[in-house]
Chain A
Amino acid sequence: MAKITMTVNGRQVSGMCDDRTLLVHFIRENLGLTGTHVGCETSQCGACVIHMDGLSVKSCSILAVQAAGSSITTIEGLAKDSELHPVQAAFKAHHGLQCGFCTPGMVMTAVDMIARHGSSLDEATVRAELEGNICRCTGYHNIVKAILAAAAEMGGLRQAAAE
């Protein structure tokens, strides 16, 4: 057993876990943050994507002890003051989710994607970058639309802020 401490969604948290505990299980079981999902055990489906020290990470492919001392954002930490993050709002506006199970991973991946590419994102890039996130419901059509719309909006917001 190991005691680990990390910052999750801006709050410092500690917990005891087996050395072999995956980060996703620490987040779900120890912290009770069940928005991060497990859809496979081969780091293929992306339902467990979180942000760790600013990087998009599949939390099923890293041990909890490896995340000790890091700063983590999960889907629960994205909306500020109950207002949806622009990516969350775009998924809703464009019907980018159905059953909702892949959605947290999709949204976390999209936020990271937009942060790296900005408003220059195009459809081919979005589709290529979603390679590590599987959705069985939407056929990706509206997820792609939502990400492009959010990228355009966030690019516009950034530009407005810069001016």
Chain B
Amino acid sequence: MGVEGIGARVARKEDKRFLTGKGRYTDDMSVPGMKYAIFVRSPHAHAKIKSIDATAAKAMPGVIDVLDGKQLTADGIGNLICGWMIHSKDGSPMKMGAWRPLADETVRYVGDAVAVVVADSVNEARDAAEAVIVDYDPLPVVTDPVKALADGQPQLHPEAPNNLIFDWELGDAAATDAAIAAAAHVTEVKILNNRLSPNAMEPRAALGIYDSGDDHYTCYTTSQNPHVARLVMSAFYNVAPENKLRVIAPDVGGGFGSKIYIYPEEIVCLWASKRTGVPVKWTCDRTEAFLTDAHGRDHVSTVKMAFDSSNKITALKVDTIANLGAYMSLFSSCVPTYLYATLLSGQYDIPAIHANVRTVYTNTAPVDAYRGAGRPEATYLLERTMETAARELGLSPAELRRINFIRSFPHQTPVIMNYDAGDYEASLKAAMAAADWDGFTARKAEAERRGMKRGIGMSCYIEACGLAPSSAVGSLGAGVGLWESAEVRVNAVGTIEVMTGSHSHGQGHETTFAQLVADRFGVPIDSVNIVHGDTDKVQMGMGTYGSRSGAVGMSAVVKALDKVEAKAKKIAAHLMEADESDIVIENGELKVAGTDKSVPWFQMALAAYTAHNLPAGMEPGLKEGAFYDPSNFTFPAGCYICEVEVDPDTGQTEIVQFVAADDFGNIINPMIVEGQVHGGLAQGIGQALLEGVHYDPDTGQLLTASYQDYAMPRADNLPSFKVSTSNTPCPNNPLGVKGCGEAGAIGSPPALINAITDAIGNNALTMPATPEKVWAAAHAAN
């Protein structure tokens, strides 16, 4: 692998700028004449806008202009859209209500933007925003998704009676019902998956720059996928045609899904820049982020799992209500459907599965993909159900899972997915050994003597990553293809630039993508630059989410490297008068195998550009591009084990150990993979133990709108983790990689809740397992 090649634990190239304060985030950008935007937001969760009076605000010091939804509508700016069409089981299309970038008639959640103030300074803009008088006529509010479906509730969008967006199903209902009727045992569980706020540490921001000389727009924005932002803003929002719009996502401080979507603010900053004639920058504050960043999860489900007399699962039936908030965000429809129900087979051989999913509008922030996106919801449901079943059947958690593991591949599940490779027993064994599962009984007895309740729980997860085969997702309703593109440019001096449509916002692509090149050509990674995040520099791209950068983004780089390698060998063969099939590339040299003849990499590159002595008919230069469209999803899987001690007097849970054993296929940089797992675990543990978005059910006011109200995981809430990997290479991409970005957040919540419920002897516990809830559940059990 070499010291910098594939598999090497290489320290990150990008770290120096972040460590020395030289990172370049959107809010760090400053251009001449730049002014500042502050949004006027609805304080009501549901109201008609009667009038907006900005007269006083416009007269305040430093104010350039105050713009509202009527002007935006008059200028032809389009509605925000959801880009994945789902049809209900009756064949009708999903009911997409209008989402205006600035609400012009109705506001539907607290934080809905109604106007924007542009001023010389943030303080002046903020003062003026306070002075904009919006006359609202408040309407009744509904925040609970189950309640929202009932008759007589407030209606959010005229298109969606009873707030129902779609009523969708997957799988064979008749076969599932028949298997449940014939079962030896049926486990029934109600599952709540709590609503979360993603909380990337960098708040969202946008800088819109309109150049009237060229009628051209530039947008700096906190995006995980700048090309998608450009496409959507031009094709659907009518901000500017694609060739007149440059989107730059510079350093981005975390995403976790929340920066996939195109929000009203970047649209408005671009539009306002044209209206006012000045560059307009907006930076979100944390409360605005809690109010307006797309939330995650928020499912209510009932589950029936049927077993035969030998404890084999015969069927799984799931009914889910998913809260999508006030509007359909960009990918909101695919999260509780094709990213969720398709994973309900887990690691198990289940002959019949049926899932019914209803999605619902409520007077809350839009809900969309958040780290894991559908797969954490599927895993939590399945692994809590397995744990419950094991307890009911009197089996150990491992035994019930082993009885039901899929053991041969490829495996076709009843819910679309075709698993290509895996070894679930291997990760189960590795996790149980690392956790010293067999020693738990003694540890529990020792804890008991100290008056503490000790519990252990596991979770065996699977996810589908590497999003995604374009024709497959197209047939399921996706409005875009999910390929990736790359371009490899070898300069005349032999240094190399890789332009990738993947976007790094913490994942370390500038290092791992360079490792691919170092591995291939034996050049140092310092001679390789990874260019990303700018639609003017990078040809095309679909961005980073769904753990796709390795499996899809790197595969595109590999395809481009293949082409570069082929041409480089032709040039070298010509220079050395050898046969190109005899050329090998090693340690930065092109050699004729079995001889001492060689050409240094840089000399070959120079020859490509001087073009003095190239093979007949060859074009000068050495730059190749490629698009890669995956043939299947990838299927990372693993086993997580959590051990806790609960203080029965306070309900406080301490995680005494957390073990993760993952199968990510081949690994490019183990240090970075471990870091991804650590971060995912923290987010999953946060969901299970601490985090939850709460709205007041009567007023729709967000009660958790700051870090003093929303419990983020902090260093003293978490243990150090024990992580390891096993490897069944993915057979469907050139690197054999599967993706590792979401696993931790997917697999960890059920392991933690299974451990706590084991400790307290009461299975009835919902996330987040706050001390109050754990104390009450522990005492109810006694």
Interface set of A (CB-CB < 8 Å, partner B):
18, 20-21, 25, 28, 32-42, 44-45, 47, 74-76, 78-79, 84, 88, 91-93, 95, 97-104, 107, 123, 126-128, 130-131, 133-145
Contact = CB atoms under 8 A, between A and B. Distances in A.
5 contacts: A42-B706, A45-B201, A95-B675, A140-B714, A142-B678
A19 to B, nearest CB: 10
Contacts of A102: 201, 253
Interface of B: 11-12, 14-25, 27-28, 30, 121-123, 199-203, 251-254, 256, 283, 285-287, 505-508, 671-672, 674-675, 678-683, 706-708, 712-716, 718, 720-721, 744
Q: Is the interface of A mostly helix, strand, loop or mixed?
A: loop
B254 A76 contact: no
A101 to B, nearest CB: 3
The 6 lowest CB-CB distance pairs between A and B, nearest first, are: A35-B21, A100-B18, A101-B253, A139-B682, A99-B506, A44-B707
Contacts of A131: 714-716
Given A40-B286, A41-B285, A130-B714, A139 B678 contact: yes
B20 A84 contact: yes
Nearest to B723: A141
Contacts of A74: 21
A58 to B, nearest CB: 12
B240 to A, nearest CB: 28
B746 to A, nearest CB: 14
A7 B287 CA distance: 32
Nearest to A84: B19
Contacts of A133: 715
Nearest to A33: B21
Nearest to B675: A95
Given A42-B286, A136-B256, A144-B715, A99 B11 contact: no
B716 A88 contact: no
B287 A41 contact: yes
B678 A40 contact: no
Given A131-B716, A134-B714, 12 more contacts: A34-B24, A88-B19, A91-B19, A92-B11, A98-B506, A99-B200, A100-B18, A101-B23, A101-B25, A103-B19, A126-B715, A136-B683
Given A103-B18, A128-B716, A137 B721 contact: no
Contacts of B679: 98, 136-139
B515 to A, nearest CB: 14
A41 B23 contact: no
Nearest to A82: B20
A138 B679 CA distance: 4
Contacts of A44: 706-708
Contacts of A138: 675, 678-679, 682
Contact of B718 (A21, A78, A140): A140
Contacts of B123: 18, 20-21
A130 B200 contact: no
Nearest to A140: B715
Contacts of A40: 285-286, 706-707
A47 B201 CA distance: 8
A18 B127 CA distance: 13
B23 A36 contact: no
Contacts of A75: 19-21
Given A44-B708, A99-B200, A141-B678, A104 B21 contact: yes
Contacts of B11: 92-93, 95
Nearest to A89: B19
Contacts of A135: 201, 715
Nearest to B19: A88
Nearest to A32: B30
- B19, B678, B706, B720 interface centre (most CB from chain A within 10 Å): B19
B667 to A, nearest CB: 14
Contacts of A134: 201, 707, 712, 714
B21 A141 contact: no
